[in-house]
Structure 1
Amino acid sequence: MTSSPSAPGGNSAASTAALTLLLAINLLNYIDRQVLYAIFPLLKAELHLSDTALGFLGSAFMLCYMVSAPLLGWIGDRWQRTRLCSFGVAVWSAATALAGIAGTYHGLLAARTVVGIGEASFGTVSPGLLADYFPKERRGRILALFFLAIPVGSALGYLLGGIIGQTWGWHASFLIVGTPGLLLAIPVWLLRDPPRTIGDQNSAVSPTRRYADLLGNRSFINGTLAMAAMTFALGGLAQWLPSFLNRIHGLSVAKGNTLFGAITVITGIAGTLSGGWLGDRLQQRSGKGYLLVSGWGFLLGTPFAAIAILAPSLPLCLTAIALAEFFLFLNTGPLNTVIVNVSPSAIRSMAFAVNIFFIHALGDAISPTIIGWLSDRWGLQNSLMVAPLAILVAAAFSFLSCRTVERDSALAEQQ
Structure 2
Amino acid sequence: MARPLTKPPGAAQAPPRSTAGYVLGLLFVGNLLNFYDRALPSVVLEPIKDEFGLDDTQVGILASAFVLVAAVAGVPLGRLADRIPRVKVAGRGLFVWSAFTAAGALLPGFWGFFASRVGVGVGESSYAPATGSLLADLYPSERRSRANSLFMLGFPIGTLLAFLTAGGIAVAFGTWRAPFLAAAVPGVVVAFFVLRIREPERGAAEPVPGTAPGRESPARSLRPLLKVRSVYGMLVAFAGYNFAAYAIGTFLTPVLQRWYGLDLVAAGAVGGVVVGVTGLVGLVAGGRVLDRAARTSPGARTRVAAASLAGAAVFSLIGLAAGRGSLWQLVVFLSLGYMLGIVYLAAAVPVVSDVIGPEQRSGALGVMFAVGYLLGGAGGPIFVGALSDALAAGSASAADASAHGLQTAMTITVPLAFAVAAAGMLVAARSVQADRDSMLARGAAV
TM-score interval, smaller chain? over 0.9
Aligned counterparts of 1:387 and 1:355: Cα–Cα separation in 2 = 20
Q: How does 1:154-169 map to 2 (within 5 A)?
A: 154-168=159-173, 169=175
Aligned counterparts of 1:208 and 1:202: Cα–Cα separation in 2 = 14
Aligned counterparts of 1:330 and 1:122: Cα–Cα separation in 2 = 20
Find the counterpart in structure 2 of residue 355 from structure 1: 368
Aligned counterparts of 2:216 and 2:188: Cα–Cα separation in 1 = 40
For each residue in 1:290-330, what CA deviation from the matched residue of structure 2 results, as whole angstroms up to 9, or x when unmatched? 11111110111112111221101111111112111111122
Aligned AA for 1:74?
R
Aligned AA for 1:7?
P
Find the counterpart in structure 1 of residue 116 from structure 2: 111
Find the counterpart in structure 2 of residue 5 from structure 1: 13
Find the counterpart in structure 2 of residue 192 from structure 1: 198
Q: How does 1:182-331 map to 2 (within 5 A)?
A: 182-197=188-203, 199-201=210-212, 205-312=216-323, 313-331=326-344
Q: Secondary structure at the match of 2:378?
A: coil
Percent of aligned pairs with the same residue? 32
1:383 aligned to which of 409, 415, 428: 409
Aligned AA for 1:25?
G
Q: Secondary structure at the match of 1:139?
A: helix
1:203 deviates by 8.5
Structure 2 regions of 5+ residues with no counterpart? 1-7, 204-208, 392-404
2:24 aligned to which of 6, 9, 19: 19
Aligned counterparts of 1:34 and 1:201: Cα–Cα separation in 2 = 38
Alpha-carbon distance change, 4 to 60 in structure 1, aligned in 2, over 3 angstroms: farther
Find the counterpart in structure 2 of residue 127 from structure 1: 132
Contact 1:280 1:289 in 2 (8 A): no
Alpha-carbon distance change, 46 to 204 in structure 1, aligned in 2, over 3 angstroms: closer
For each residue in 1:347-398, what CA deviation from the matched residue of structure 2 results, as whole angstroms up to 9, or x when unmatched? 1110111111100111111211111111111110121121111111111111
Aligned AA for 1:388?
P
Normalising by structure 2, what TM-score? 0.89
Contact 2:213 2:358 in 1 (8 A): no
1:175 correspondence with 2:202: no
Alpha-carbon distance change, 187 to 201 in structure 1, aligned in 2, over 3 angstroms: closer
1:71 correspondence with 2:76: yes
Aligned AA for 1:175?
L
Contact 1:4 1:194 in 2 (8 A): no
Find the counterpart in structure 1 of residue 378 from structure 2: 365
1:188 deviates by 0.9
Aligned counterparts of 2:421 and 2:81: Cα–Cα separation in 1 = 28
1:129 deviates by 0.7
Aligned counterparts of 2:287 and 2:190: Cα–Cα separation in 1 = 27
1:332 aligned to which of 345, 358, 364: 345
Structure 1 regions of 5+ residues with no counterpart? none
Aligned AA for 2:64?
S
Contact 1:35 1:157 in 2 (8 A): yes
Find the counterpart in structure 2 of residue 139 from structure 1: 144
Q: Secondary structure at the match of 1:250?
A: coil
For each residue in 1:53-83, what CA deviation from the matched residue of structure 2 results, as whole angstroms up to 9, or x when unmatched? 2111111111110111111111111111111
1:200 deviates by 4.2
Moved more, 91-100 or 303-312: 303-312
Q: Secondary structure at the match of 2:106?
A: coil
Contact 1:214 1:220 in 2 (8 A): yes
Moved more, 203-212 or 52-61: 203-212
Aligned counterparts of 2:213 and 2:343: Cα–Cα separation in 1 = 38
Contact 1:295 1:395 in 2 (8 A): yes
1:61 correspondence with 2:88: no
Contact 2:216 2:359 in 1 (8 A): no
2:56 aligned to which of 42, 51, 60: 51
1:182 deviates by 0.7
Task: Say how many residue pairs are matched.
Answer: 412
Aligned counterparts of 1:176 and 1:204: Cα–Cα separation in 2 = 45
Aligned AA for 1:374?
L
Aligned counterparts of 1:204 and 1:156: Cα–Cα separation in 2 = 43
Q: Secondary structure at the match of 1:363?
A: helix
1:202 deviates by 9.3
Aligned AA for 1:60?
A
Find the counterpart in structure 1 of residue 400 from structure 2: none
Contact 1:93 1:182 in 2 (8 A): yes
1:130 deviates by 1.7
Contact 2:290 2:304 in 1 (8 A): yes
Moved more, 191-200 or 244-253: 191-200
Task: Give the superposed CA RMSD.
Answer: 1.6
1:3 deviates by 4.7
Find the counterpart in structure 1 of residue 402 from structure 2: none
Contact 1:233 1:367 in 2 (8 A): yes
Find the counterpart in structure 1 of residue 423 from structure 2: 396
1:148 correspondence with 2:156: no
1:407 correspondence with 2:434: yes
Moved more, 305-314 or 162-171: 162-171
Contact 2:67 2:378 in 1 (8 A): yes
Contact 2:96 2:119 in 1 (8 A): yes
Aligned counterparts of 1:203 and 1:22: Cα–Cα separation in 2 = 25
Alpha-carbon distance change, 205 to 121 in structure 1, aligned in 2, over 3 angstroms: closer
Aligned counterparts of 1:203 and 1:112: Cα–Cα separation in 2 = 36
Alpha-carbon distance change, 383 to 4 in structure 1, aligned in 2, over 3 angstroms: farther
For each residue in 1:66-115, what CA deviation from the matched residue of structure 2 results, as whole angstroms up to 9, or x when unmatched? 11111111111111111111110100000001101122110000000000
1:335 deviates by 2.1
Aligned AA for 1:181?
G
Q: Secondary structure at the match of 1:33?
A: helix
Name which one, 1 or 2, has greater alpha-carbon Rg: 2
Aligned counterparts of 1:200 and 1:74: Cα–Cα separation in 2 = 18
Aligned counterparts of 1:344 and 1:88: Cα–Cα separation in 2 = 24
